[in-house]
Amino acid sequence: MKLFNRLYSITALLASAFVFTGCNGLIYDDEGDCDPYYKVKFVYDTNLKFTDAFSAEVFEVTLYVVDPATGRVVWQKHESGDALRRDGYLMDVDIDPGRYTLLAWCGEGHRSSFSVVDTDIHTDLRCRLSDRQILDSGHESSSELRRLYHGKSDNVEFEDEQGTHVKTVRLIKDTNTVHIVLQHLSGENIDHRDYSFTIEGDNGHMDYDNSLIYNPAERLTYRPYDVYSGTAGIYLPGDENRAAVVDVSAAVAHFSVSRLMEDKRKEDVFVKIYNKDGEKIVQVPFIDYALLVKGKYKRPDGTPLTDQEYLDYQDDYSMVFFLDEHNRWQNTHIYINSWRVILQNTDI
């Protein structure tokens, strides 16, 4: 009997050793077999703090796994809630080993302010601004848009090896906040009700790869989701004709706009301000002006950002315009994101 027990123990040990050898390593506690396990990590570090802000900003994700040979979505998953707010969130992915394209639309905006086409063809996974009004005069949006993010990783290998394999999808934020401020150089009061603020652009429809789909018939007029009058402190050097002004009256308009791209910047997105008589007193190409201060921002290692990278990393813009004594735009200078910019050859 003792001999039989000893032989049984030896046999069990040999079987156990065979399992470990066949798996090419130890079995993880949460796995229990020799299969590979896959997880996807979402990273949002394309911001001007150059740190991963995913857990602080992104509370909803939809991941599409695409077979690059057919272009078909072979697996998809949506998750939201508290799990995403915790550092270290990983999405479990249940697919066969192979090479895939990972495509993600994320943020609460992709199911509210925007809508994504329900399809299994990856090139049709487009995202369109749905929080808009269709009027006789065109399409308008005046809401504070929920945040929207896009991510895409190509040719990602899912190894046929035992263990846990983590793949990364990096996100780009597609929604932006714009603050337009109008002030009098003289310091006299200004009433926001005497002015109309708009941002116009054909930027409300994103393709599967996050490029813009241009359609003049759907060109958007953004109107402020909040507008008011107030005072702001600013230093203006005095001269013999005008004293320095510290506190000045201002009209402030807050906008929420969709993706910004530099490829059609000169003819696509414009800031326009009208007075109470309907006369246009300001018209500037928004992206051109936003890029005037791009050089003030660099990566931690000192390398500069390209034009499109700056538009991807920046998500909060401010522009301050000044009116002269005739209530016309004094187009010699402007403040952009608190930087004073001297303008030349500027026409409305």
pLDDT digits 0-9 by tens, 174-225: 999 999 999 988 778 899 999 999 999 999 999 999 999 999 999 999 999 9
Residues 165 and 230 in one domain: no
| Whole-angstrom distance, CA of residue 105 vs CA of residue 76 | 11
3-state helix, strand, coil in the chain (%, to 5): 20, 40, 40
Per-residue model confidence (pLDDT) at position 291: 96
For β-strands 270-275 and 149-158, DSSP reports them as unpaired
Going by C-alpha positions, the residue among 51, 40, 148 that lies closest to residue 88 is: 40
Q: Is residue 26 part of a domain?
A: no
- Residues 298/304, Cβ–Cβ less than 8 Å: yes
Whether 28 is covered by a domain: the verdict is no
What is the C-alpha to C-alpha distance for residues 214 and 67, in angstroms, rounded to an integer?
Answer: 27
pLDDT attached to residue 73:
99
Among residues 149, 173, 197, which one ends one of the domains? 173
Dist. CA 82–CA 89, nearest whole Å: 10
- Angle, CA 58 vertex, CA 127 and CA 227 arms, to 5°: 75
Domain boundary among 125, 151, 173: 173
On whether both 181 and 292 belong to a single domain, the answer is: yes
Instruction: State mean pLDDT over 305-333.
Output: 94
Nearest Cα neighbor of 191 from 247, 230, 234, 232 is 230
92 in helix, strand or coil? strand
| DSSP 3-state of 299 | coil
Q: Are residues 329 and 275 in the same domain?
A: yes
User: pLDDT tens digit string along 64-123?
Assistant: 999 999 999 999 999 999 999 999 999 999 999 999 999 999 999 999 999 999 999 999
Sheet arrangement for strand 205-206: 114-116, 127-129, 205-206
- Mark residue 302 as left, alpha or beta (left: phi above 0; alpha: psi -120 to 50; beta: remaining): left
Residues 6+ apart with CB under 8 A from 262: 287, 291, 307, 308, 311
Residue 150 has pLDDT above 50, yes or no: yes
Helices within the chain (DSSP H only)? 2-22, 54-57, 82-85, 265-268, 286-290, 307-313
Tell me, yes or no, whether 188 and 217 share the same domain.
yes
pLDDT band at 237, cuts 50/70/90? low
Is there a contact between 157 and 166 (Cβ–Cβ < 8 Å)?
Answer: no
pTM for this model (two decimals)? 0.87
Same domain? For 154 and 188 the reply is no
Find tokens 């200078």 and name the residue: 333
For residue 231, the model assigns a pLDDT of 80
Tens-digit pLDDT profile for residues 129-143: 999 999 988 999 999
**Around Cβ 79, how many Cβ atoms within 10 Å?**
15
Domain count, the chain: 2
Judged on CB neighbours under 10 Å (0-12, 13-18, 19+), 175 is buried
Q: Residues 337, 240: one domain?
A: yes
Q: Which structure tokens are listed for 323?
A: 């009116």
Does the pLDDT value for residue 348 go beyond 50? no
Q: For residue 4, is it within any domain?
A: no
How big is the chain by its Cα radius of gyration, in Å? 27
The answer to whether residue 326 is domain-embedded is: yes
327 versus 91: the higher-pLDDT residue is 91
- Average pLDDT score, the chain: 88
Q: Are residues 183 and 103 in the same domain?
A: no
142 and 188 inside one domain: no
| The pLDDT value given to residue 27 | 46
Kindly tell me the number of DSSP H helices and DSSP E strands found in the chain: 6, 22
The residue segments making up the domain with residue 333 are 176-342
Q: How far apart are CA 293 and CA 155, in angstroms?
A: 36
Number of C-beta neighbours around residue 202 at 10 A: 20
Same domain, 274 and 185: yes
Would residue 220 count as lying in a domain?
yes
> What is the CATH number for 226?
2.60.40.2090
Give the end of a domain, one of 123, 143, 173. Answer: 173
Give the tens place of pLDDT for each residue, 14-68: 344 434 444 544 444 455 568 899 999 999 999 999 999 999 999 999 999 999 9
